Structure 1
Amino acid sequence: MYFKKFRVQVSLVIVILIVYLPTFLDGKVLYWGTTTLQFIPWMKFAIERITAGEFPLWNAWNGFGSPLMANYQSAIFYPLNWILIIFYKLSGITGLAYGFTWLYLLHVMLAAIGMSLFLKQLKMTELSQLLGGFMWVFSGYIISRISFISMVWSFTWISWILYAILKIRENYDRVNWRVTLLLACFVTMQLLSGHAQTSLYTLVLGGIFLIFPILKPIRKMFNSLLAFSIAILIALGLAAIQLIPTLEYLLQSQRSNEIGYEYAANFSFWPWRIITLFFGNFLGNPGLNRFFGGGTFWEDQIYHGVFAVLLIVVLLISLTRLSKKEFSQRNRYLVLLAMIAVLSFLLALGKNFVLFPFLYNHTTALRLFQAPSRFLLFFSLALTIFTAFAFDYWQFRQFNIRKTGLIGAVGLAVLVAGLFSEPFMGKLAAEIRISIIYSAGLILLFCVMTILKSLAVRQNEHWVSISFLIVFMIDLLLINFPYGQFIHSDYFKANQTFNPEVERNQLFYLDQDAEEFLKFNRYFRFDRFQLLDDPENMFPKYVPNTNLLGENIRYVNNFDPFVPRYFDQFMKWLKTLNKAERNTILQFFGVSTILELDTDSETGLQAIDFKPLEIVQWYSCEVEIPSDETLPAILYNISTNPEKRCIFLIGDAFNTNVNHQFTTNLNGITSIFYKDGYWRINYDSSQEGWLEIRQTWYPGWKAQLENGQKLAIERTDFLFQGIKLPPGSHTLEVKYEPISFKLGWVITITTILLIIIFLATNKFSIRIRKRYEKGLYE
């Protein structure tokens, strides 16, 4: 009985396991792109701090230091990510790679199950639930993005949130607290999973499916709207421990204002890619061979299956023949889905169509994120649900055999022409010819199966439908399987990043053009996912953030969607300098080694070594200078008189306050101790002075002497931390204790306590009511 109730969900789990288990059992793990460059390094560092009894608040090893926990995509508070601690403790970095890979499998299963339950709520047949659940996780949108871990994690909860919203719609006459709390849990999981863009889009989708199609007067939907609002507020409270530090980081980051049209319109859908909606690999596949189309393969991947397109066309034709009176609740959903699909596709075109630029100029929402192509999330959802509706229609409808046969004949003609046209195709890419043959064959097969279903006796129709579903699944797998995204786990075992004995105390800077070249032309090419060399030679050893793997190594570079605003401005300014100027400023800021591109070397890099200044500096004088003049002034100062300079404070105008008693490197500082997020510095000076830590200025850092005297931390030398110290012999402690984290922690704990109190009192009131009713009736 239990299996019968959930046999669709069990079937989805079994099918997904069959698809992925051969890859996983072969010892292969996720690795491509941001998996290796961001998510594994971030999680490794976070787990080390957590198991040492510390919150991973600050990453001192990239970008002169930056927040880690406030980095939304690190998803440290996402409950399912805590499983990774076990994997890391069992087998280090390799274990972490296995952990992310198995977590990916779990999330795919959860997403498919959620979609099947959503479709069940829409009264779909079991086969349509199975088709929709499979299509949702193997359609082009998410399966092509599996290396973007936070997007996959966030995507998982979309179907569950929509399922809960449909349950809320059922209870329009009252607030169902059980369903409201269930929705709050799903939204919380998504908010903690680490992808803000997907979360925002999901809330928009949730609002749409809550209100539309309008089947009841708006006034009767008040309770549903109230339940939805309460669920969102509860979720915000539960996720506050992550959201509030992230909000602070956003306000301090390079994306605190609008990100600019060019950046926002980056990754706009390439219009000609629409061909691949029907001809899957028409422009190639980087996982199999190469991709030779415009745009980016994973951002624009929209293949949902030839059968899906044909089913939708059949259903749309039938809808045009219905009168207004014949429109059912189900058909109203189809109109809504069609509108979502069209509008989202036009938005996905970004700079290639007038809609996105118009909305960008007249609204603020589109100025927060890049990649208009991610509006294809709405498109993919609409197509998935529409296809499930269409499959239901196909199963129970008898079709005209003659007309169906004519369409099949066209497919057969194209198939035969494609098979025998190779000598006449000239230099036309083989992928184009093969994709045309492949799609033509599926058209023929679709028509054959439609005819068989129409001819079959009733007891055999079900087997034709099952065969249809199997072909549908195989088609999606053949085209959309994430080829090239997995590699044998030895990739992580054999590659250690640095020699800790030699390089632990160095500060590296990787030339920014070299960084881009290595990331996207050598190690992780967009046009082909296959490695250009043997795996042991292709680990991105010197590319951030792999410096967090193995022993932590300090890097100026920081590959992060958020970086502190002044650090971002500094890195952009650095690119405007010639090499001599760049080297001068970096040496002054403590860089010991600059890595530049050298295609003749094994690593592709050459090292330029310096004797750098220490990370902590002492100054006896200050100069106040406008922020935008600070960096050029520093460069001029150290180029002309490097031994005698003052610390630069940020002010509105140029102002000097010099006592002419210059001190040099570390004069007055007797000892330094540092651990992530904590400095202890002993100094002895007969005069007051400025201590500068070459660490990114950021709110939340606090300075205090051993006698309890609190000291202000100023932004100095454009992006660093400066503290004015009194004379004498003192111990200075500098700690990272952000108020945002404490506030988020308090709100999250308070929300949890309020939920517990509510559940307890609600349960108690139910017991009292039952006893009263029992006594009343007796």
Structure 2
Amino acid sequence: MDKFSTWFPPVFYLFLAAIFLYRTTFVGDVFLPAGLLGYIAPYQTAIHTKLLPPWNPLRWDGIAQFYPWRLFAARTVRSGFLPLWNPYQFCGAPFVANSQSAVFYPPNLLFDLFPTTIAFNLNALLHLTLCGWFTYLFLKQLRCFPLASLLGGCIYAYSAWQVQWLQLPTFLATSCWFPLLLRQLYRLLRTPGSSGTSLTSAGASLGLMLLAGHLQIAFYGLLAAFLWVLALLIRTLQEQKPIGKLLALSAGVFLLGGLLCSIQLLPTLELSRLSHRATQATPAGYQEYIAYALQPYELSTLFLPNLTGNDYDPQNHYWGFYLQSAGNSLVAVRHNAAETALYVGILPLLLAAVAVYRALHRRAPNYRALFFAILAVFALLMALGTPLNALFYFGIPGFGASGSPARILVLWAFATACLAAFGLDYLLESPLEKRAFLALFAALLAGFGLCLFLVSQALTVPLPGFDLLDVPSFARALSRIPYDWVRLGAGLTLSAVLFWRTHRHPVSGSFRFALGCLAITITDLFWTGMPVNPVARSTWVYPLTPGIRYLQTHLGHERIFPINRFWSLNTPPPAVLPPNGAMVYALRDVQGYDSLFPGQLKAYADRFARPNRFGVSDASPPEVGNMVFFQNPNAPLVPTTGARYAVALPTDNPAFADVTLPPQTPPLPLSSDDLTLYPLSSALPRARFVSDNPKLPNPPVTYLQDLPTRVSLQVTAPTGGLLILADENYPGWEATVDKYRVPILVPPPSQGSLFRAVRLSSGEHIVAFRFRPSSFNVGLYLSLIGLLFFCWQSSKNLFRSRTNMLGGIECRNQ
């Protein structure tokens, strides 16, 4: 039986994940929103289908950020180098320092071992399995019944929050470690004799959570862990036990976790200090931050998950909105279903209410249930943009630069999953009184009625922006979700039947009751979640078009200059070869898209900007501050970028006239119509020598090596001058001339002061640039120290357990 209980849960969750992802597991599709590429040039000519998923600017990140990043990292590692620097976006940018690159997260070895499209499938399958299994282990550690623990794992893994973010892999890869971290902390602080094993495993869980890539979600995990440790220490004090050793052990966990992730964390902290997000917290910024919070009317999705629409049903498009100030009025702006994902199932809500009721009505309150009830309420209050957010926004440096405050709903999903497991656990011990059951059921219905009232109030008075979003009337919104009404009615009815039968047959019906709860919850969550994430054919993933093939053949070591200007949250934007797309084809690009990049690049790109709809010249579109366009190919600094071709939308479409400002050179006469290429005749080479004597011609520069972290050049200088490499300068780049270390200089503004330069005397020289950031080196040493401690402590624990086992065998033989 012990062996069965050991291997059954992971196999069970793996089976569920395979069914949930059946199109990628059994049909052969890829778990990427690659169909969204079909809206963007040049892929429109290669993806011929009327079945493209609706435009979703947040899900776009799955194919526009994570796929190029994972592909680039895998290619670089396979070539024998660490991907510390990315030469293909932003005129060069640090790569490991982008925490979402997650280069050192061990499960991302899947991307090194398998083709990238297949690795995305395996990654989702793995982390859905881990999410459920780790939650099961945590609940079992808290002495829940096995079926109750299985239920909690299903709720957390397939809650709306996890499913909505599933195609952005760092979210689930980070949040799946929450329950294991809390489990090991509980073992450390509440289980005598397991301190050594629990300390190393808790530290490893914390390190993996931080290495997984999403620091905002990891912060919420750290917050939950800190509050959990605080609750356990308070409980220990109430038992009149000393806590000095426990405090030291807790500090050891956080220290070990920090050491293990230093190789990733220190470069990220360095970049964040120099990034475009490095701003001061201000009252105005705080108001802008909380404006994107969960709106009160969106609480209705606790019961009707599609009430505000979705991105897969053409009869019920997504219309959720938040309010943004525009002068003296409010404007409705498109929200995103992933930022407001509340749904955890109907039955789990009722079970969670049972857990809170029973915890409060026992002679001795159940502190486990109370802790998670408080955590759930806290997460909801934070998600709603209440003043609690100010404590973090103004009190924690950099917190204001994180994403939506509603992303803390990950803690809501986790806490509710645990409460639902506790509720089932209570009911398996003894049935709920009829009066209590009717009261909880009535409270659930009252909450549902209140949520509908909030929706009706939000839709009563049309606001500016309603027409653009096609916000429906209250009656129309309710009529567009027949399946939600069926799901709600079925969930409430089956829940009532199960509770009633259990009350009549408390002993014989308990096992059937638990199985029924598990079946109802899985059916509910799968019915809600399976249509959410669009899959694609593998041929849709960055197809090779004639125009791209031409660039690969003729570009050499130079860059491209895509001419983009607009982006959109509501409709597919008019764009060509969007940021990061060039990485897939190993083409160097001036533009880029990342949540963290050097602020000096943004300042440089702003010098190419054209006025946006607000009359502001900004390289980033108003909708996405993390995206950088180079909008004007006729700007004075264009020759300095190292770009050889401007890439524009096809010229035969008059709708693109306001998007594309063409260069002053005629386009190339290509036979394809996927994009338009303009040679930039005034472009300077990416690597160039500028003589001190302007009357002398500048000699050509020869590339000896052009790798992501190493560039070697050869030049014969007729006189003294500057050798300029039009790649972004950043701390950690070193230069040698004929193997002698020299300082990297800033080129004059006319040559692009963003880039690197070294001074040369006359004669033949070999100049080498190499990226060796001290932040990475220090982080590497710290991580090695943490890894050595982990291995030493683990081997010691293993030796001790084997010794105890042999001792037990010897005693039995005697």
Coordinate RMSD, CA, aligned: 3.6
Q: Secondary structure at the match of 2:770?
A: strand
Give me the whole-angstrom Cα distance separating, in 1, the residues matched to 2:803 and 2:482: 73
Q: Is the 8 A contact 1:135 1:304 kept in 2?
A: yes
Deviation (angstroms), 1:62: 0.9
Deviation (angstroms), 1:348: 1.4
Give me the whole-angstrom Cα distance separating, in 1, the residues matched to 2:793 and 2:197: 11
Instruction: From the superposition, tell whether residues 757 and 445 of structure 1 become closer, same or farther in structure 2 (CA, over 3 Å).
Output: closer
Deviation (angstroms), 1:475: 0.8
Does residue 506 of structure 2 align to residue 475 of structure 1?
no
Q: Is the 8 A contact 2:308 2:319 kept in 1?
A: yes
Instruction: From the superposition, tell whether residues 298 and 580 of structure 1 become closer, same or farther in structure 2 (CA, over 3 Å).
Output: closer
Match of 1:688 among 720, 735, 747: 720
Match of 1:441 among 490, 495, 500: 490
Moved more, 43-52 or 579-588: 579-588
| Pair member with larger Rg | 1
Instruction: From the superposition, tell whether residues 468 and 57 of structure 1 become closer, same or farther in structure 2 (CA, over 3 Å).
Output: closer
- 1:239 counterpart residue number: 261
User: What are the residue-to-residue correspondences of 1:609-628 with 2, within 5 Å?
Assistant: 609-611=679-681, 612-620=683-691
Deviations 1:520-568 (A, max 9, x none): 73289xxxxxxxxxxxxxxx9712212122x311111111111111002
Does residue 105 of structure 2 align to residue 74 of structure 1?
no
Q: Is the 8 A contact 1:691 1:722 kept in 2?
A: yes
Match of 1:177 among 196, 207, 221: 196
Q: Is the 8 A contact 1:288 1:483 kept in 2?
A: no
- 1:521 counterpart residue number: 571
Deviations 1:615-652 (A, max 9, x none): 1233356xxxxxxxxxxxxxxxxxxxxxxxxxxxxxxx
Deviation (angstroms), 1:275: 0.5
Q: Is the 8 A contact 1:697 1:715 kept in 2?
A: no
Match of 1:394 among 420, 424, 427: 427
Instruction: From the superposition, tell whether residues 615 and 9 of structure 1 become closer, same or farther in structure 2 (CA, over 3 Å).
Output: closer
Letter in 2 for 1:521: T
Give me the whole-angstrom Cα distance separating, in 2, the residues matched to 1:221 and 1:738: 41
- 1:535 counterpart residue number: none
Letter in 2 for 1:733: A
Deviations 1:76-101 (A, max 9, x none): 1111111222212xxxxxxx111111
Does residue 142 of structure 2 align to residue 122 of structure 1?
yes
Q: Is the 8 A contact 1:507 1:556 kept in 2?
A: yes
Deviations 1:175-218 (A, max 9, x none): 71111111122122222211112222212211111221522218
Give me the whole-angstrom Cα distance separating, in 2, the residues matched to 1:85 and 1:317: 49
Where does the alignment leave 5 or more consecutive residues of structure 1 unmatched? Answer: 89-95, 419-423, 525-539, 622-660
Letter in 1 for 2:264: Q
Letter in 1 for 2:769: V
Q: Secondary structure at the match of 1:49?
A: helix
Letter in 1 for 2:305: G
- 1:17 counterpart residue number: 18
- 1:346 counterpart residue number: 381
Deviations 1:580-619 (A, max 9, x none): 6854332443333334556568978655442222112333
Does residue 124 of structure 2 align to residue 104 of structure 1?
yes
Letter in 2 for 1:347: M
Does residue 327 of structure 2 align to residue 287 of structure 1?
no
Q: Secondary structure at the match of 2:704?
A: strand
- 2:92 counterpart residue number: 65
Deviation (angstroms), 1:749: 2.8
- 1:593 counterpart residue number: 645
Match of 1:215 among 235, 242, 264: 235
Deviation (angstroms), 1:726: 2.6
Deviation (angstroms), 1:161: 0.7
Give me the whole-angstrom Cα distance separating, in 1, the residues matched to 2:359 and 2:200: 38
Moved more, 279-288 or 134-143: 279-288
Instruction: From the superposition, tell whether residues 606 and 356 of structure 1 become closer, same or farther in structure 2 (CA, over 3 Å).
Output: farther
Give me the whole-angstrom Cα distance separating, in 2, the residues matched to 1:248 and 1:365: 12
Give me the whole-angstrom Cα distance separating, in 2, the residues matched to 1:523 and 1:167: 51
Instruction: From the superposition, tell whether residues 140 and 258 of structure 1 become closer, same or farther in structure 2 (CA, over 3 Å).
Output: farther
Match of 1:700 among 722, 732, 756: 732
Q: Is the 8 A contact 1:597 1:605 kept in 2?
A: yes
Match of 1:162 among 173, 177, 182: 182
Instruction: From the superposition, tell whether residues 365 and 349 of structure 1 become closer, same or farther in structure 2 (CA, over 3 Å).
Output: farther
Deviation (angstroms), 1:445: 2.2
Letter in 2 for 1:254: H
Give me the whole-angstrom Cα distance separating, in 2, the residues matched to 1:713 and 1:126: 65
Match of 1:225 among 244, 247, 268: 247
Q: Secondary structure at the match of 2:510?
A: helix
Does residue 140 of structure 2 align to residue 140 of structure 1?
no
Where does the alignment leave 5 or more consecutive residues of structure 2 unmatched? Answer: 34-59, 322-334, 453-472, 612-616, 618-630, 657-671
Q: Is the 8 A contact 1:8 1:126 kept in 2?
A: no
Deviations 1:396-428 (A, max 9, x none): 4434568968969x98xx99xx9xxxxx99745
Give me the whole-angstrom Cα distance separating, in 1, the residues matched to 2:796 and 2:378: 46
- 1:721 counterpart residue number: 756
Give me the whole-angstrom Cα distance separating, in 1, the residues matched to 2:133 and 2:608: 49
Q: Is the 8 A contact 2:356 2:373 kept in 1?
A: no
Q: Secondary structure at the match of 1:694?
A: strand
Q: Is the 8 A contact 1:58 1:69 kept in 2?
A: yes
**TM value normalised by structure 2:** 0.77
Deviation (angstroms), 1:440: 2.9
**TM value normalised by structure 1:** 0.81
- 1:335 counterpart residue number: 370
- 1:377 counterpart residue number: 410
Q: Is the 8 A contact 1:702 1:713 kept in 2?
A: no
Does residue 591 of structure 2 align to residue 557 of structure 1?
yes
Q: Is the 8 A contact 2:24 2:121 kept in 1?
A: no
Letter in 2 for 1:340: L
Give me the whole-angstrom Cα distance separating, in 2, the residues matched to 1:261 and 1:722: 40
Deviations 1:357-415 (A, max 9, x none): 4652455363342211111122122111111111222334434568968969x98xx99
Instruction: From the superposition, tell whether residues 766 and 713 of structure 1 become closer, same or farther in structure 2 (CA, over 3 Å).
Output: farther
Give me the whole-angstrom Cα distance separating, in 2, the residues matched to 1:745 and 1:127: 43
Q: Is the 8 A contact 2:558 2:685 kept in 1?
A: no
Deviations 1:149-183 (A, max 9, x none): 11121112111111111111224x67711111111
Letter in 2 for 1:124: C
Moved more, 119-128 or 45-54: 45-54
Deviation (angstroms), 1:267: 3.9
Q: Is the 8 A contact 1:266 1:370 kept in 2?
A: no
Deviation (angstroms), 1:287: 2.8
Q: Is the 8 A contact 1:140 1:302 kept in 2?
A: yes
Does residue 209 of structure 2 align to residue 190 of structure 1?
yes
Count of equivalent residues: 693
Does residue 770 of structure 2 align to residue 748 of structure 1?
no
Give me the whole-angstrom Cα distance separating, in 2, the residues matched to 1:591 and 1:227: 55
Letter in 2 for 1:45: F
Moved more, 160-169 or 713-722: 713-722
Does residue 468 of structure 2 align to residue 431 of structure 1?
no
- 2:336 counterpart residue number: 296
Give me the whole-angstrom Cα distance separating, in 2, the residues matched to 1:338 and 1:765: 39
- 1:309 counterpart residue number: 349
- 1:536 counterpart residue number: none
Q: Is the 8 A contact 1:267 1:296 kept in 2?
A: no
Give me the whole-angstrom Cα distance separating, in 2, the residues matched to 1:405 and 1:272: 26
Letter in 1 for 2:224: L
Instruction: From the superposition, tell whether residues 373 and 220 of structure 1 become closer, same or farther in structure 2 (CA, over 3 Å).
Output: same
